[in-house]
């Protein structure tokens, strides 16, 4: 089996790029004209035949043009695709309005991204569990209800109402606040486990039985967000790509985006995998979601420091515009960084 020489690479690249644009199988004649190689269609045919043997392209059926295989896309993304200059990237700012509520920002980010790229997008909120607690407060709502407010370094706020069995004195609440803040401040939420809670309960023992149930509730508030929050947008963009808009596939795909549960797996996988660039491309089955086996997924991890991280993802057809997508994600990641850091 011969190796990929320069000419073959050029031809493969041309095939893929043409296919990215048109979505139609690419014939030898098209390539013969499209490239500046000045080769006849017959020659191209020979080369194509070789490329097919090597597994980079294939025919949907005899007597059709060629389309890239997953292996072909992989090579394209890894080696053939042009890296754009960072500078050029900076220019087309995505124009995200500044808002202070994290939730709103994230919703707007996915929205803008989906509109700009014409693919389906998702973003996970900065993960709470790797975030440190910085403030806990119990306040009396009325005789039998307290409200717990928990704030983290990442400025995420969670709260819940606790129903008491019996009344609690102001003094007890005050002392409990003191205890909680002293014991838990600066500790990553993920590290708050059962042992720790048992220990706290023991320390709090003197304040009576009620305290125990309060602590359970507090623990609950802290841990509640094990499953990440994910915002999505543009799921219906897949209808723009005929190869994906078959109604049963589309239905599954959109459901995946609607339910969000499966997206969590994707985000987790992304976060686990620490790449140098932080940008990953999953082609076809490479992604951990079955309903996306006909798609490509591009993800980027953004960092807000102190291990607080989130993931942005773009899902589209395999023939997605990888250059642009990777590029947009780079820009966006930088923007999120500066946006949240201050």
In the complex, the smallest distance separating the C-beta of residue 73 from a copy of itself, rounded to whole angstroms, is 25
Q: Is 49 in the site for DNA (CB under 7 A)?
A: yes
Is the distance from CB of 57 to CB of 106 less than 8 angstroms? no
In the complex, the smallest distance separating the C-beta of residue 184 from a copy of itself, rounded to whole angstroms, is 15
In the complex, the smallest distance separating the C-beta of residue 219 from a copy of itself, rounded to whole angstroms, is 14
Region 59-118 residues binding DNA, contact defined as CB under 7 A: 59-66
Q: Is 170 in the site for a copy of itself (CB under 8 A)?
A: no
Alpha-carbon span 240 to 321, nearest angstrom: 14
Coil vs helix vs strand at 154: coil
Among 116, 155, 181, 223, binds a copy of itself (CB under 8 A): 155
Contacted entry of DNA, a copy of itself, none for residue 233, CB cut-off 5 to 8 Å set by kind: a copy of itself
Q: Is 25 in the site for DNA (CB under 7 A)?
A: yes
In the complex, the smallest distance separating the C-beta of residue 159 from DNA, rounded to whole angstroms, is 56
Contacted entry of a copy of itself, DNA, none for residue 141, CB cut-off 5 to 8 Å set by kind: a copy of itself
The piece of 27-35, 90-98, 207-215, 304-312 that touches DNA (CB under 7 A) is 27-35
Contacted entry of a copy of itself, DNA, none for residue 147, CB cut-off 5 to 8 Å set by kind: a copy of itself
In the complex, the smallest distance separating the C-beta of residue 220 from a copy of itself, rounded to whole angstroms, is 9
Alpha-carbon span 284 to 14, nearest angstrom: 21
If the CB atoms of residues 2 and 209 are measured against DNA, the closer one turns out to be 2
Give how many residues touch DNA by CB under 7 A.
26
Check the CA dihedral 180-185-190-196 and report its sign: negative
Q: Is 45 in the site for DNA (CB under 7 A)?
A: yes
Coil vs helix vs strand at 151: strand
> Nearest Cα to 18, choosing from 34, 41, 32?
34
Q: Is 52 in the site for DNA (CB under 7 A)?
A: yes
In the complex, the smallest distance separating the C-beta of residue 72 from DNA, rounded to whole angstroms, is 14
> Nearest Cα to 339, choosing from 148, 60, 123?
123
Contacted entry of a copy of itself, DNA, none for residue 151, CB cut-off 5 to 8 Å set by kind: a copy of itself
Q: Is 40 in the site for DNA (CB under 7 A)?
A: yes
Q: Is 139 in the site for a copy of itself (CB under 8 A)?
A: yes
Region 290-319 residues binding a copy of itself, contact defined as CB under 8 A: none
Could you tell me which residues are beta bridge partners of residue 123? 231, 312
Contacts of 64 (CB under 8 A, 6+ apart): 25
Neighbours of 24 (CB within 10 A): 13
* Six token digits for residue 122: 């998702």
Instruction: Indicate the DSSP class of residue 36.
Output: S
> Nearest Cα to 266, choosing from 302, 311, 308?
311
Check the CA dihedral 267-268-270-271 and report its sign: positive
The piece of 42-50, 113-121, 166-174, 315-323 that touches DNA (CB under 7 A) is 42-50
> Nearest Cα to 298, choosing from 311, 284, 280?
280
Coil vs helix vs strand at 259: helix
In the complex, the smallest distance separating the C-beta of residue 107 from DNA, rounded to whole angstroms, is 39
Task: For 66-89, give the DSSP string.
Answer: BEE-HHHHHHIIIIISPPPPHHHH
Contacted entry of a copy of itself, DNA, none for residue 61, CB cut-off 5 to 8 Å set by kind: DNA
Alpha-carbon span 276 to 122, nearest angstrom: 22
Region 192-231 residues binding a copy of itself, contact defined as CB under 8 A: 224
By CB under 7 A, name the binding residues for DNA. 24-30, 38-43, 45-46, 48-49, 52, 59-66
């Amino acid at each position: 089996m011969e190796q990929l020489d320069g000419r073959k690479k050029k031809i493969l690249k041309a095939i893929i790029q043409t296919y990215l644009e048109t979505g139609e199988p690419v014939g030898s004649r098209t390539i013969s004209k499209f490239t500046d190689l000045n080769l006849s269609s017959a020659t191209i045919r020979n080369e194509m035949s070789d490329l097919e043997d090597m597994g980079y392209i294939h025919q949907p059926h005899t007597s059709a043009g060629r389309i890239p295989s997953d292996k072909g896309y992989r090579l394209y993304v890894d080696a053939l695709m042009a890296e754009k200059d960072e500078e050029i990237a900076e220019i087309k700012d995505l124009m995200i309005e500044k808002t202070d509520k994290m939730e709103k920002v994230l919703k707007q980010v996915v929205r803008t991204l989906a509109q700009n790229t014409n693919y389906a997008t998702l973003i996970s909120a900065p993960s709470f569990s790797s975030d440190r607690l910085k403030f806990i407060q119990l306040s009396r709502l009325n005789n039998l209800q307290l409200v717990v407010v928990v704030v983290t370094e990442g400025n995420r706020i969670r709260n819940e109402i606790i129903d008491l069995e019996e009344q609690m004195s102001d003094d007890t609440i005050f002392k409990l606040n003191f205890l909680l803040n002293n014991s838990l401040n600066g500790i990553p939420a993920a590290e708050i486990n059962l042992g720790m809670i048992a220990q706290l309960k023991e320390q709090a023992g003197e304040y009576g039985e009620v305290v125990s149930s309060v602590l359970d509730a507090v623990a609950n508030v802290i841990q509640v967000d094990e499953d990440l929050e994910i915002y999505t947008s543009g799921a219906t963009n897949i209808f723009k790509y005929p190869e994906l808009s078959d109604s049963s596939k589309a239905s599954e795909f959109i459901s995946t985006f609607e339910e969000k549960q499966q997206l969590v797996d994707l985000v987790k996988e992304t976060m686990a995998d620490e790449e140098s660039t932080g940008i990953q491309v999953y082609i076809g089955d490479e992604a951990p979601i079955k309903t996306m086996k006909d798609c490509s997924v591009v993800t980027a991890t953004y960092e807000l420091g102190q291990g607080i991280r989130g993931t942005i993802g773009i899902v589209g057809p395999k023939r997605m515009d990888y250059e642009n997508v990777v590029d947009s994600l780079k820009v966006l990641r930088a923007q999120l960084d500066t946006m949240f850091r201050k």
